[in-house]
């Protein structure tokens, strides 16, 4: 019988295939009394030493293939092995209860997992995730069992797990992993980042999908809508097979279009660069360089997550420099640290807040922690010599905040110059427009920075008072709201008046439905997830600038969301109907020429 579940779509695309279940359930844990606790504890010590060697090797492998930035997540796991509390509890329970050490360890792991289910604090969950992953590795050594791995899948499959650890995701078989489903995790998890980076469809946060799925079950995964179908009926399977085939055909056409055009222009020759949003340097591949006109948003805070200590200035420099050098001469725009809100680092103590999205985050945090902020700025400036770098500051609420940030930036520049450390003196400084107050004073901000980048994800939620991850009101999170369009219009006007470019880097930029209106409003570039670039490029190449301006003028005068969406949808459908007619005529004309010959 078909079961339909709804989770969080974190990487778009449709995947259909057999389930490959993965997790601790595959280990059978014996329970028996031991005669000598000392010998049992010696077994535990030896297993810990073996796991430490495994983790060191995995760290070295990851550093070689994906860089120091990604390898550092294993430092936290190695530290767990030396956790005094863990060793003391194991020792005490083995001596008092007299059971074998793997039974005791598994019981502790189960208790931690149960606690983890009830805690929503991301920093606590990060720590618990490290403990569970390390505990699983020690169990494998104690049982002399080769732990199940995702490194080599026997066949193409959809991976189903309660939660994937960093060590699991670091070794995943990208060739045969058709899709990923997890009960836990969220859009900022390591699993989500990896899936988006390598265009693997993924749905997370399903809570109890594993309880319904058996190995080999046919699964349909819709990473765009966050839908999962278990053992689908014939009608559902046929519908999604058709959709998958259509998407594959469309992707082939878009890839052909990608290689046939040198620039990204409208029908009448107006150029609008399409940039990529990235989280990790590992995302900078040859494919990205072929698709994107640069990196419009590098979310640097992901370098601070999934670890137990701050990244050093040198680690940050290496990560930033690798991206800048790989993309050179294309531009790379680095956003400074945006921790807080929905992104927490376990090693940086942030007080619990009733409204974290409105609290101590982004530049507010950085200005209060100049030690962290200046180290990052030094790393960015040092990396600038390797290519075309821009830096932008998130969540600027007004001119006073922008001036304070620029003062810190200038201090760091002066310090580097005094110490004869090389950096580009012409590096551009940008202001992110993400809150209504920034829109209201955009004219002042524009005269004090080199470019604007509109972060629509936050701008929409703050303007409409809608938490974008709250399922109860998610339907109210509306990029097509007339108020949002008017704020975009006002921001672009201020940028144009000051003679600076204005780009957009939120999810709205990656939605083809809005391409025409964004171009018409005057956006100088659009930045989005790499997987969205081909579709937006095709959309861009089907519009004309004068018509786009008319569309923008009309929609900003509308009062209802449904009117805006209806009008944009009709425009979108009319363009594609015309494109289809032209393509059909072209094919018929080619066929006629062949017959004539």
Catalogue the E-assigned strands of 308-449. 331-335, 388-393, 428-433
Residue reference for tokens 């695309």? 13
SS3 at position 133: helix
Residue 333 to residue 226: CA distance in whole angstroms: 30
At 558 the pLDDT is: 95
Neighbouring residues of 331: CB distance < 8 A, sequence distance ≥ 6: 275, 294, 295, 296, 388, 389, 390
Residue 289 to residue 478: CA distance in whole angstroms: 31
Residue 273 to residue 332: CA distance in whole angstroms: 13
Angle at 165 between CA 510 and CA 469, to 5 degrees: 40
Q: What is the CATH number of domain 1-22+148-257?
A: 3.50.30.10
Domain locations along the chain: 1-22+148-257, 24-142, 261-558
Angle at 49 between CA 46 and CA 55, to 5 degrees: 140
At 8 the pLDDT is: 83
DSSP type of residue 33: B
Q: Which helix (H) or strand (E) segment is 495 a member of?
A: helix 482-498
From the candidates 449, 502, 505, 572, give the one annotated as an active-site residue.
505
Residue 440 to residue 398: CA distance in whole angstroms: 9
- Please state the length of the chain: 597
Burial 177-188 (b: 16+ CB within 10 A, else e): bbbbbbbbbbbb
Q: Which helix (H) or strand (E) segment is 352 a member of?
A: none
At 244 the pLDDT is: 86
Residue 124 to residue 222: CA distance in whole angstroms: 30
At 68 the pLDDT is: 62
CATH topology of domain 261-558: TIM Barrel (3.20.20)
Residues 228 and 5 sit within 8 Å (Cβ to Cβ): yes
CB pairs under 8 A, 24+ apart, for 63-68? 66/170, 66/280, 66/281, 66/282, 67/281, 67/282, 67/318, 67/319, 67/322, 68/315, 68/318, 68/319
| Paired sense of beta strands 274-278 and 525-529, if any | parallel
Per-residue pLDDT of the chain (597 residues; tens, 9 = 90+): 889 998 888 888 899 999 988 864 556 788 999 888 899 999 999 999 998 988 888 778 767 655 565 566 677 778 888 888 888 899 999 999 999 999 999 888 888 767 665 655 554 555 566 677 788 788 888 887 765 677 778 889 999 988 776 567 666 787 888 999 988 766 656 677 667 766 789 998 887 787 788 889 999 999 877 899 999 999 999 999 988 887 777 666 666 655 555 557 898 999 999 999 988 777 787 667 778 999 999 999 878 876 667 889 999 999 999 999 999 999 999 999 987 655 544 445 555 556 666 777 889 999 999 999 999 999 999 999 999 999 999 999 999 999 999 999 999 999 999 999 999 999 999 999 999 999 999 999 999 999 999 999 899 989 999 876 665 676 788 899 999 999 999 999 999 999 999 999 988 998 889 999 999 999 999 999 887 888 898 899 889 999 999 999 999 999 999 999 999 999 988 887 655 544 444 444 444 444 455
At 174 the pLDDT is: 75
Catalogue the E-assigned strands of 201-259. 202-204, 218-222, 227-230
Residue 393 to residue 364: CA distance in whole angstroms: 11
Residue 131 to residue 135: CA distance in whole angstroms: 6
C-alpha distances in angstroms, 37 versus 41, 92, 97, 333? 6, 10, 10, 58
Burial tier of 429 (Cβ tally within 10 Å: 0-12, 13-18, 19+): middle
Residues 503 and 253 sit within 8 Å (Cβ to Cβ): no
First to last CA, the chain: 57
- Per the DSSP assignment, residues forming a β-bridge with 297 are 277
At 499 the pLDDT is: 97
Picking from 473, 447, 343, 330, the residue whose alpha carbon sits closest to that of residue 395 is 343
Residues 24 and 109 sit within 8 Å (Cβ to Cβ): yes
From the candidates 162, 190, 481, 572, give the one annotated as an active-site residue.
190
Phi first, then psi, for residue 32 (nearest 5°) are: -155, 160
Phi first, then psi, for residue 441 (nearest 5°) are: -115, 25
Q: Reply yes or no on whether 413 is catalytic.
A: no
Three-state DSSP string of 270-288: CECCEEEEECCHHHCCHHH
Determine the number of helices (DSSP H) and then strands (DSSP E) in the chain: 22, 16
**Which tokens sit at 477?**
């999170």
Question: Which CATH superfamily does the domain covering 24-142 fall into?
Answer: PtsI, HPr-binding domain (1.10.274.10)
Picking from 356, 409, 376, the residue whose alpha carbon sits closest to that of residue 310 is 376
Residues 324 and 362 sit within 8 Å (Cβ to Cβ): no
Residues 353 and 103 sit within 8 Å (Cβ to Cβ): no
| Paired sense of beta strands 295-299 and 331-335, if any | parallel
Angle at 398 between CA 394 and CA 403, to 5 degrees: 80
Burial tier of 244 (Cβ tally within 10 Å: 0-12, 13-18, 19+): middle
Three-state DSSP string of 501-550: CEEECCHHHHCHHHHHHHHHHCCCEEEEEHHHHHHHHHHHCCCCHHHHHH
At what angle are helices 482-498 and 456-464 packed, to 10 degrees? 130
Q: Reply yes or no on whether 261 is catalytic.
A: no
H helices of 73-189, in order, are 73-81, 84-97, 101-118, 122-142, 166-170
Full-prediction pTM beyond 0.95? no
């Amino acid at each position: 019988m078909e079961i339909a579940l709804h989770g969080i779509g974190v990487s778009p695309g449709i995947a259909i295939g057999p389930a490959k279940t993965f997790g601790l359930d595959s280990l059978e844990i014996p329970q028996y009394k031991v005669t000598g606790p000392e010998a049992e504890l010696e077994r535990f010590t030896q297993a810990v030493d073996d796991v430490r060697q495994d983790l060191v090797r995995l760290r070295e492998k990851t550093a070689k293939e994906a860089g120091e930035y990604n390898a550092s997540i294993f430092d936290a796991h190695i530290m767990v092995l030396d956790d005094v509390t863990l060793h003391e509890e194991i020792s005490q329970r083995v001596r008092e209860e007299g059971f074998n050490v793997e039974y005791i360890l598994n019981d502790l792991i189960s208790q931690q997992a149960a606690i983890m289910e009830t805690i929503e604090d991301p920093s606590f969950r990060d720590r618990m995730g490290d403990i569970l992953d390390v505990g699983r590795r020690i169990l494998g050594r104690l049982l002399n069992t080769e732990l199940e791995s995702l490194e080599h899948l026997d066949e193409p499959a959809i991976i189903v797990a309660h939660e994937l650890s960093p060590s699991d995701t670091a070794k995943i078989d990208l060739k045969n992993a058709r899709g990923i489903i997890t009960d836990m995790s969220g859009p900022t998890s390591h699993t989500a980042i990896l899936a988006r980076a390598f265009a693997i469809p993924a749905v997370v946060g399903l809570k109890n999908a594993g309880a319904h799925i058996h190995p080999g079950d046919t699964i349909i995964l819709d990473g765009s809508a966050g839908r999962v179908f278990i053992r689908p009926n014939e009608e559902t399977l046929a519908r999604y097979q058709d959709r998958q085939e259509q998407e594959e055909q469309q992707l082939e056409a878009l890839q052909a279009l990608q290689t046939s055009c040198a620039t990204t222009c409208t029908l009448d020759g107006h150029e609008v660069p399409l940039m990529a949003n990235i989280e990790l340097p590992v995302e900078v591949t040859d494919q990205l360089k072929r698709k994107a006109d640069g990196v419009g948003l590098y979310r640097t805070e992901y370098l601070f997550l999934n670890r137990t200590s701050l990244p050093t200035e040198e680690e940050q420099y290496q990560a930033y420099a690798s991206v800048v050098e790989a993309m050179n001469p294309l531009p790379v725009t680095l956003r400074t640290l945006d921790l807080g809100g929905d992104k927490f680092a376990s090693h940086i103590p942030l007080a619990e807040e009733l409204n974290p999205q409105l609290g101590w985050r982004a530049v507010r945090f950085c200005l209060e922690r100049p030690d962290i902020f200046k180290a990052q700025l030094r790393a960015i400036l040092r990396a600038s010599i390797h290519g075309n770098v821009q830096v932008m500051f998130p969540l600027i609420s007004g001119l006073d905040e922008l001036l304070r940030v620029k003062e810190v930036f200038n201090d760091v520049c002066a310090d580097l110059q005094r110490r004869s450390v090389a950096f580009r003196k012409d590096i551009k400084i940008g202001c992110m427009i993400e809150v209504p107050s920034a829109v209201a004073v955009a004219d002042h901000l524009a005269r004090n920075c080199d470019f604007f980048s509109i972060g629509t994800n936050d701008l929409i939620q703050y303007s409409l008072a809608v938490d974008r991850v709250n399922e109860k009101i998610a339907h109210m999170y509306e990029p097509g709201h007339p108020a949002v369009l008017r704020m975009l219009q006002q921001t672009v006007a201020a940028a144009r008046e000051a003679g600076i470019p204005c780009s957009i880097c939120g999810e709205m930029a990656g939605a083809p439905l809005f391409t025409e209106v964004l171009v018409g409003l005057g956006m100088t570039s659009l930045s989005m997830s790499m997987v969205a670039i081909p579709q937006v490029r095709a959309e861009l190449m089907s519009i004309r600038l004068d018509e786009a301006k008319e569309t923008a003028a009309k929609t900003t005068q509308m009062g209802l969301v449904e009117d805006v969406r209806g009008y944009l949808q009709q425009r979108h459908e009319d363009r594609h109907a015309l494109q289809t007619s032209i393509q059909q005529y072209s094919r018929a004309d080619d066929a006629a020429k062949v017959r004539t010959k």
